[in-house]
Amino acid sequence: MRPMTTLGISAILLLLQNGAAAHAQATAAALLKKGFLQCGVNTGLAGFSQPDSHGEWRGLDVDLCRAVGAALFGDARKVRYTPLTAQQRFTALQSGEVDILARNTTWTIARDTGLGLNFVGVNYYDGQGFMLPKKRNVKSATQLNGAAVCVQPGTTTELNLADYFRAKSMKFKPVVIEKMEEVLNAYFAGRCDVYTTDVSGLIAARASRAANPGDHVILPEVISKEPLGPAVRHGDDQWFDAVKWSLFAMIDAEELGLTSKNIDQHAKSANPVIQRFVGATGEFGKMLGLDKRWAHNIIKQVGNYGESFERHLTPLGVERGINKLWNQGGLMYAPPLR
Amino acid sequence: MLGHLDPAKAGAGLSQFTGAFLGPRLRPFVYQVLLAAALCLGIWYLVSNAAQNLFELGIAAGFGFLSREAGFAIGETTLLSYSAADTYLRAIVVGFLNTVRAATLAIVCATVLGVVIGLARLSTNWLVAKATAGYVEVLRNVPLVVQLFFWYALITESLPGPADALHPFPGIFISNRGLVFPILKLAPVNGWLVAVIVLALIITVAWILRPSSTPTSRDKRVGIPIALAGGLAAMLFVSASAGIELDYPAFSGFNFSGGGSLSPEFTALFLGLTLYTAAFIAEIVRAGILAVDRGQFEAAYSLGLTQRQVMRFIILPQALRVILPPLTSQYMNCTKNSSLAVAIGYPDLVSVANTTINQTGQAVEGIAIIMLVYLSISLAISAFMNWYNRRFALQGSRR
């Protein structure tokens, strides 16, 4: 669909919605009645959300949606995906077109407050970088004065880019294209000298789109911090909790050593921490308004955070880096399930 | 009190009242008031509902964001300078001017090209007629957005990079960064003066060339305007040469600096819009000419007029009456179609407003601005074309 049409429809939905908050209070109940979860994802970013050769959506963000599906319905397949461009994503969530926005979206104060969103946590710690052809022989971002830079609109990337060049008193020519495909086409065709986005996106683009990935280098400067995380609408705290703890369960499971392969076996163990996790003791499922086996279902059907990462990002050549667990020197730290 | 009333009298009064109320004079008025009231209520409902929703979702509302710093860069600007430190309002105005630039140029060129192709399709030359028919059928049956992608890909994929740019004439470079060329560098005051004189020149030339129905009246008024145009052109030359200096583009580092440039985005949009719209205009022109009665041709030829004169003084003025109303629609379509620019990265109004919506989250306000601006442009085109149309309407049919 044309971006304008989607945006227009979303704006109209905002006009027509009757008492958004009153409805929002019961997102989970409404979804159970509807029978599936509507998840807003990227139109195609390898490793985060991209349809595979069978048309199935795959990626780190997609796994978060599947985890919520498993927690809510006991079935990770009860999710439908709405591919959204950077510009469409917030309106789509605000207007109720999607129930979760899991689209490599940076958590910022403006979005958390002014846009009426609640970020549930961080599922990937990222930062913005620059990629350009190796033959340019550029070693540092400080040498980019006068470059034409390909960038997607409506992103923090676009703002960081302007800030960075302003701070360094350098000039650049933005080439701003909305669709990921088109902006990458423009970069690989040589319309711009440099492509900028989050480093994970650069790696994914280089691995999946470049004719010869070795011809492109990612500059050492990381000019921003980009905590990417899923978000929900303001106004339904219970739904916010359910999505938040679906993410935390995946991270906690990795810490506990629970995987999709071994969780059935571990469920029988006497370890009280694992007993609470799989719902054999405690009433966490009920407190979240979910089934008591919610966390068990997530890990059984989707896997823990590390499994998801290795399935989608490791094959692209993305290192775990700062996305390792906190006890292994990374930033991934989830509150305990107790 | 009620008991004392004469029932017959009361009935008569009532029917008199309803008669007056719903009589032929008042009835339409009452309906219009009711309709207006319903419309106002509906709008009030939508606005208050949206405000309530936004409030409950904790989304900011109002147009206060327009004075905040935009923080994003825009690739190209028309007339107005812009940097990331400027406000959202200025960003949107820059987007608007970019839309106007693309749409105006496309409309002018599409009209010229459309008239030529429309006439050529009526040609008795088999090859010319078939070739133009082919043009029309291909161009108007392929979706515009596909054509835009085609032109954009053609420019960015097939042309060399800026370091190996084509260099057909001194100072002119063609690469996948667009066309760069030397420009006259003028002091700012001179620049404005030149702009005013150019505008005056265009108006004068348009005045000279305005079509008329009789050859004689044309000859009478031609002298003074031609003198005027000549005078203006002389002024233009003198004022421009006062501070004249050529600014040559040069390749340094990543890109060309200096000179003027046409970006691939603008060029692709301009080409796509012009060629697409011209196909429709060609058909409108053809239809207009075919609508003129055959007898008009025959009568004109029998007076001994040449083919050129027949077209110029007999056929085109009559065809114009048929052509103008659908042409107005094409002009509006062309303007609105320019919003497809967002697909190939030309920073038009929609592109800039979309980014603004996304950064501020104020979708309702942003969409309202987009709609209002396009509505204003369309109404302006419509008003101008209606004025022009009235001048050519048959005297008796003037309303």
For residue B206, give every residue at least 6 positions away whose Cβ sits within 8 Å of its Cβ, in sequence order, or none: none
The total number of structural domains in chain A stands at 2
CB contact under 8 A, A162 and B46: no
Judging contacts by C-beta atoms under 8 Å, the chain B residues touching residue A235 are 56-58
Residues A9 and A89 occupy one common structural domain: yes
Picking from B306, B176, B282, B191, the residue whose alpha carbon sits closest to that of residue B240 is B191
State how far residue B362 is from chain A, nearest Cα, in angstroms: 8
Domain assignment present for residue A337? The answer is no
- For residues B114-129, average pLDDT: 92
- Please name the residue that has the structure tokens 């009426």: A116
Residue B252 belongs to what domain range?
88-185+245-397
Q: For chain A, how big is the Rg over CA atoms in Å?
A: 21
pLDDT of B12 above 70: no
SS3 A177: coil
Residue A313 lies in a domain: yes
Please tell me whether residues A148 and A236 are part of one structural domain. no
* A260 found inside a domain: yes
Is residue B64, in this structure, part of any structural domain at all? no
Assess if residue A334 is contained within a domain.
no
- Tokens of residue B92, six digits: 């949107």
pLDDT at site B197: 76
Residues B160 and B294 in one domain: yes
End-to-end CA distance of chain B: 57
Range of the domain at A176: 128-224
From chain A, pick out residues whose CB is under 8 angstroms from the CB of B56.
19-21, 234-235
Sequential DSSP letters for A120-138 = ---SEEE-EEEEEEGGG--
Comparing alpha-carbon positions, the chain B residue that sits nearest to A158 is: B72
Closest of A26, A189, A255, A147 to residue B153, by C-alpha:
A189
**B127 and B32 belong to one structural domain:** no
- Is A98 inside any structural domain? yes
| Position B80 in a domain | no
- Domain assignment present for residue A333? The answer is no
- DSSP strands (E only) in chain B: 173-175, 178-181, 183-184, 246-247, 250-252, 255-257, 260-262
CA separation for the pair A251, A174 (Å, rounded) = 38
Same domain for A7 and A66, yes or no, is yes
d(C-alpha B291, C-alpha B6), whole Å = 69
Position B253 pLDDT exceeds 50:
yes
B248 pLDDT band, cuts 50/70/90, is confident
* B68 has pLDDT over 80: yes
Is B161 in the same domain as B297?
Answer: yes
Same domain, A245 and A280: yes
Residues of B in contact with A118 (CB under 8 A): none
Looking at mean pLDDT, say which of A234-248, B5-19, B175-189, B304-318 comes out highest.
Answer: A234-248
pTM for the complete prediction?
0.77
- Say if residue B19's pLDDT is above 90: no
pLDDT at B118 over 90: yes
Q: Are residues B180 and B288 in the same domain?
A: yes
Residues A165 and A40 in one domain: no
Domain CATH for A184:
3.40.190.10
Q: What is the mean pLDDT of residues A150-179?
A: 90
Q: Is residue A335 part of a domain?
A: no
Question: Which residue, of A208, A224, A240, is where some domain finishes?
Answer: A224
Mutation site, A5, A138, A176, interface B, largest B CB count within 10 A:
A176
Predicted confidence at residue B1, as pLDDT, reads 43
pLDDT in tens, B26-38: 888 888 899 999 9
Indicate whether B110 and B250 sit together in one domain.
yes
- The answer to whether residues B289 and B379 belong to one domain is yes
Answer whether B73 sits within 8 Å of A114, measured CB to CB: no
Contact A104, A42 (CB under 8 A): yes
Angle at B378 between CA B373 and CA B382, to 5 degrees: 150
Q: Is a pLDDT exceeding 50 seen at residue B3?
A: no
Is residue B29 domain-shared with residue B141, that is, in the same domain? no
Contact in structure between A61 and A42 (CB atoms under 8 Å): yes
Task: Please indicate whether, in this complex, the C-beta atoms of B59 and A115 are within 8 angstroms of each other.
Answer: yes
Q: Are residues B44 and B126 in the same domain?
A: no
pLDDT value of residue A6: 58
By C-alpha distance, the chain A residue nearest B73 is: A162
Of A164, A189, A224, which marks where a domain is finished? A224
Regarding whether A37 and A158 lie in a shared domain, the answer is no
Q: Are residues B260 and B141 in the same domain?
A: yes
Give the number of residues written for chain A: 338
Cβ of B156 within 8 Å of Cβ of A176? The answer is no
**The Cα angle at residue A182 between residues A179 and A183, in degrees rounded to 5:** 85
Q: Which of B254, B263, B265, B372 to mutate to test the interface with A (most CBs of A within 10 A)?
A: B254
Q: Do B251 and B359 fall within a single domain?
A: yes
Could you tell me if A234 and A322 lie in one domain? yes
pLDDT of res. A172: 92
- Return the bridge partners of B250, or none: B257
A199 and A282 housed in the same domain:
no
d(CA B173, CA B181): 7
Same domain, A246 and A318: yes
Domain boundary at A184, A203, A224, which?
A: A224
Tell which wins on pLDDT, A266 or B189.
A266
Q: Does the distance separating the beta carbons of A190 and B73 come in below 8 Å? A: no
Out of B50, B149, B342, closest to residue A3 by CB: B342
Q: Which of A131-135, A288-292, B101-105, B230-234 has the lowest mean pLDDT?
A: B230-234
What's the number of domains chain B is made of?
2
Whether residue A250 sits in one domain with residue A117: yes
Both tokens of B195, joined, read 């702009």
Q: Which residues pair with A37 in a beta bridge?
A: A79
CB B362 within 8 Å of CB B61: yes
- Whether B361 sits inside 8 A of A17 (CB atoms) is no
Question: What pLDDT, on the 0 to 100 scale, is given for residue A327?
Answer: 95
Instruction: Report pLDDT digits (tens) over A26-38.
Output: 888 899 999 999 9
Q: Which residue has the tokens 């009456």?
A: B321
| Whether residue A23 is found in the same domain as residue A77 | yes
Do B51 and B141 lie in one domain? The reply is: no
Has residue B78 been placed in a domain? no
| CATH code of the domain containing B294 | 1.10.3720.10
Of B257, B343, B361, the CB nearest to A182: B343
Sheet holding B260-262, edge to edge: B173-175, B178-181, B260-262
Q: How far apart are CA A83 and CA A105, in angstroms?
A: 13
| A163 and A106 within one domain | no
Confidence band, pLDDT 50/70/90 cuts, at residue A24 = very low
Residue B128 forms part of a structural domain? yes
Cα Rg, chain B, nearest whole Å? 29
Q: Between chain A and chain B, how many beta carbons pairs sit less than 8 Å apart?
A: 162
Among residues B73, B67, B66, B347, which one has the least CA distance to residue A160?
B73
- Give the pLDDT score at B168: 84
* DSSP β-bridge partners for residue B45: none
Both B266 and B343 in one domain: the answer is yes
Residue at A184 is within a domain: yes
The per-residue pLDDT for range A94-125, each reduced to its tens digit, is 888 999 999 999 999 988 988 889 999 999 99
pLDDT of residue B307: 85
Q: Is B12 within the bounds of a domain?
A: no
